[in-house]
Amino acid sequence: MRVIVVGGGVLGTMHAWQAIERGHEVIQIEREDQARGASVRNFGLVWVGGRAAGPELESALRARTLWEEIGTRVPNLGFRANGSLTPVTTAPELAVAREAADRADAPARGYKLLSPQEVRALNPALRGEALLGALWCERDAAVEPRTAQRALQDALRTMAPERYTFLGGREVRDVPASRTAVRDDRGELHEGDAVVLCTGAWLGGMVRELVPELPVRRVRLQMMQTEPLDEPLTTSVADADSFRYYPAYGGPALDAMTSAQAQGPVAAEHKMQLLMVQRSDGSLTIGDTHEYASPFRFDVEEAPYAHLATVAERLLGRPIPPVRKRWAGVYAQCTEPGRVVHRQQLQDRPGVWLVTGPGGRGMTCSPAMAEDTANELDW
């Protein structure tokens, strides 16, 4: 088969990977020279721990396996099975962690409730004085988001130099009716046996024309990156506010926590949690906020960054390194209950599929999402 993949982000690139692995030819088209959207503006987390039970968790666990397999073959992905810790500092937070660790699916996620001594033995950089323990998720992992797509593309060129072509700097403008093809902004028609549109947060223009009532919304976030920390952060780290935003933690203990323990005003206003990951150069990626109401602001606000720094320093027991980068990003999130990603065949366009809306699951689940597409299309 000849597969046309539109989108150079992690979801599109994983679709290209699946097609090449199955022996097909791939033309991958990206409107920028390289991906610049949510696929590079994230934590690089393969985040199993917080996923909702059911299809979402199944997708995350399958993706975790695939990430490790691909990471073995593509070392420049920077895959590492570092796990994650969610430290808790109050009795209500500890109750949520304990409830999660006692659930039936805890072994699949790699959950374990650790004592303060066990936390510091596993991650000595966490020297905060008020720790009551932490929820350990052994199945969580990380990759390097700023370089992952290029590393995968380079690997595809090496694996299949005659079957893989990446066309950057070309925007797809049209998907002709009754054809399995796309036309780019240079007027070139790319025909194939299958077309997969992985357009990310680009939901207007051509995408709106093709699917006017798309059940996907856009979400904006703010993040930052520090100078290198002078010691290893051996695990990814979340704060207890993440219990409020990830569906895995829902239950009586979380209800009691949210009733007894309000978020601070900045965290509540910006719908915040702390996530912190150490990059391969030692720097820390720290975030994030959630903004849902459009139109999004064009500037970044300082109050959330100050809040994140305060929370990170409380957990580390020391000042964070100087911040060297700040950024905002936008991702597309499927709003259909129970759906991990929105996937549909376009009407009157044989073999043309739209796959979008992975939301905050994109980096985690993209290998499994692409595998599901390949299986559904019988590649």
Confidence of residue 341 (pLDDT cuts 50, 70, 90): very high
Residue 338 has pLDDT above 90, yes or no: no
pLDDT value, residue 58? 97
Question: Domain 2-41+146-215+338-376 adopts which CATH fold?
Answer: FAD/NAD(P)-binding domain (3.50.50)
Structure tokens at 284: 């820390």
- Centre a 10 Å sphere on the Cβ of residue 355 and count the other Cβ atoms it contains: 25
For 310, residues 6+ apart whose C-beta sits below 8 A from its C-beta are none
Structure tokens at 211: 């699917």
Structure tokens at 280: 């391969």
Structure tokens at 210: 């093709």
Helix H or strand E encompassing 375: helix 362-376
Average pLDDT over the chain, rounded to an integer: 96
Structure tokens at 369: 């999402």
Q: Which amino acid is at 372?
A: D
pLDDT value, residue 325? 96
Mean pLDDT of 290-294: 93
Mean pLDDT of 9-21: 97
Structure tokens at 66: 């695939």
One of 3.80.30.20, 3.30.9.10, 3.40.50.300, 3.30.420.140 is the CATH number of 84-138+216-334, namely 3.30.9.10
Whole-angstrom distance, CA of residue 46 vs CA of residue 60: 8
pLDDT value, residue 191? 97
pLDDT value, residue 257? 97
Residue 274 has pLDDT above 90, yes or no: yes
Helix H or strand E encompassing 194: strand 194-197
Whole-angstrom distance, CA of residue 200 vs CA of residue 103: 34
pLDDT tens digits for 29-76?
999 999 989 999 999 999 999 999 999 999 999 999 999 999 999 999
Residue 129 has pLDDT above 90, yes or no: no
Q: Is the pTM of this model over 0.75?
A: yes
pLDDT tens digits for 89-126?
999 999 999 999 999 999 999 999 999 999 999 999 99
Mean pLDDT of 187-216: 95
Whole-angstrom distance, CA of residue 355 vs CA of residue 200: 9
pLDDT tens digits for 239-272?
999 999 999 999 999 999 999 999 999 999 999 9
The strand pair at 194-197 and 2-6 is best described as parallel
Q: In the chain, pLDDT over 90 holds for what percent of residues? A: 96
Q: In the chain, pLDDT over 70 holds for what percent of residues? A: 100
Query: Where are the domains positioned within the chain?
Result: 2-41+146-215+338-376, 84-138+216-334
Confidence of residue 198 (pLDDT cuts 50, 70, 90): very high
Residue 311 has pLDDT above 90, yes or no: yes
Q: Is there a contact between 312 and 286 (Cβ–Cβ < 8 Å)?
A: yes
Of 7, 12, 3, which Cα lies nearest the Cα of 30?
7
Mean pLDDT of 221-235: 98
Q: Where are the alpha helices (DSSP H) in 123-263?
A: 145-159, 206-210, 252-260
Structure tokens at 104: 């039936």
Cα→Cα distances 97→18, 57, 124, 263, 268, Å: 37, 18, 20, 17, 21
pLDDT value, residue 318? 96
Q: Is there a contact between 366 and 10 (Cβ–Cβ < 8 Å)?
A: yes
pLDDT tens digits for 40-49?
999 999 999 9
Burial class (CB in 10 A: 0-12, 13-18, 19+), 204: exposed
Of 332, 84, 120, which Cα lies nearest the Cα of 221?
332
